Amino acid sequence: MGLFDDFAKQRVFAVQEFTLLSSRALGNVFRSPHYATDIVRQMDFIGFGSLPIVVLTGFFTGAVLALQSANTLSTFGETSLTGQLVMLSLVRELGPVLTSLMVAGRNSSGMASELGSMVVSEQIDAMRALGTDPSKKLVTPRLVATVLMLPMLTIISDFMGLLGGFATSFFIIRLNPGQYWYSAYQSLEFEDVFQGLLKPFVFAFIVALVGCYYGLTTTGGTQGVGRSTTQAVVAASVLILVSDFFLTKIILWLLA
């Protein structure tokens, strides 16, 4: 019972610390100084740095979607709907979720290891001693950069997925290009775009704040840095998948 109580207290304390860090990081957005240089540097690292993996993930996801859907649709003689199925699957669900998971794997781990190393080497304590707020200097720029870049990366991933679906449709299924693009374009509605862009905006908060939280709460020297990095990726990935379900439920209820 004592072990369970300790575990429960640790979890509640962790949620409290995470909430405080999140509220402080959000509040810092509206207070100067804004550290614009740090934001631009993080945008370059998170956005441009994640581009190759996002492009590859999007392209081959679309290609596989087209291959699988055409195989099923051919049973009903409706292979012309391949573009519609690829478009809706990517924009509504797979584009935002897979892009966020890839960015979390690359950047949540990077944030956790970088901030964890700073904690272990006492650089964070030195910043506080010099009168600099670590959450304002380190967390807020990463949060702002992720919120700005993740929706853009999702759009690129969706487009590459459509290209991947087209490549499969044209070279393997031998579908008419006009049919594919017309079917994809006609199927897209405002509700789909709204859903597809709202999700990465929310996921960006998870990616940035989870990575920073685990980095700043690192303990145990260099081994602790490795542990924080692993925990950040796992926690961010799980939270993205869980929040995706609830976001989808809420959006479908709002648009019903």
Q: How would DSSP label each residue in 160-187? A: HHHHHHHHHHHHTS---HHHHHHHHHHH
**pLDDT confidence band for 124 (50 / 70 / 90):** confident
Give residue 60's identity as a one-letter amino acid code.
F
| Rounded Cα distance, 250 and 49, in Å | 32
Does the pTM of the predicted model rise above 0.85? yes
Contact assessment for residue 225 and residue 120, using Cβ atoms and an 8 Å cutoff: yes
Q: How would DSSP label each residue in 90-102? A: IIIIIHHHHHHHH
Q: Is pLDDT at 5 greater than 80 in this prediction?
A: no
Q: Is pLDDT at 122 greater than 80 in this prediction?
A: yes
Q: Is pLDDT at 170 greater than 90 in this prediction?
A: no
**pLDDT confidence band for 191 (50 / 70 / 90):** confident
Q: Which residues of 33-50 are buried (b: 16+ CB within 10 A; e: fewer)?
A: eebeebbeebbebbbebb
CA dihedral 127, 32, 109, 232 (to 10 degrees): 90
Task: Find tokens 């840095």 and name the residue.
Answer: 225
**pLDDT confidence band for 206 (50 / 70 / 90):** very high
Q: Is pLDDT at 32 greater than 60 in this prediction?
A: yes
Measured N-to-C along each axis, helices 49-73 and 140-171 cross at an angle, to the nearest 10 degrees, of 40
pLDDT of residue 73: 79
Q: Is pLDDT at 256 greater than 80 in this prediction?
A: no
Q: Which residues of 127-165 are buried (b: 16+ CB within 10 A; e: fewer)?
A: beeeeeebbbebbbbbbbbbbbbbbbbbbbbbbbbbebb
- 35: which residues sit within 8 A by CB, 6+ positions away? 136, 137, 140, 141
| Rounded Cα distance, 63 and 55, in Å | 12
- Domain spans, the chain: 34-214+222-255
Contact assessment for residue 169 and residue 70, using Cβ atoms and an 8 Å cutoff: yes
**DSSP annotation of 74:** G
**pLDDT confidence band for 120 (50 / 70 / 90):** confident
Q: Is pLDDT at 1 greater than 70 in this prediction?
A: no
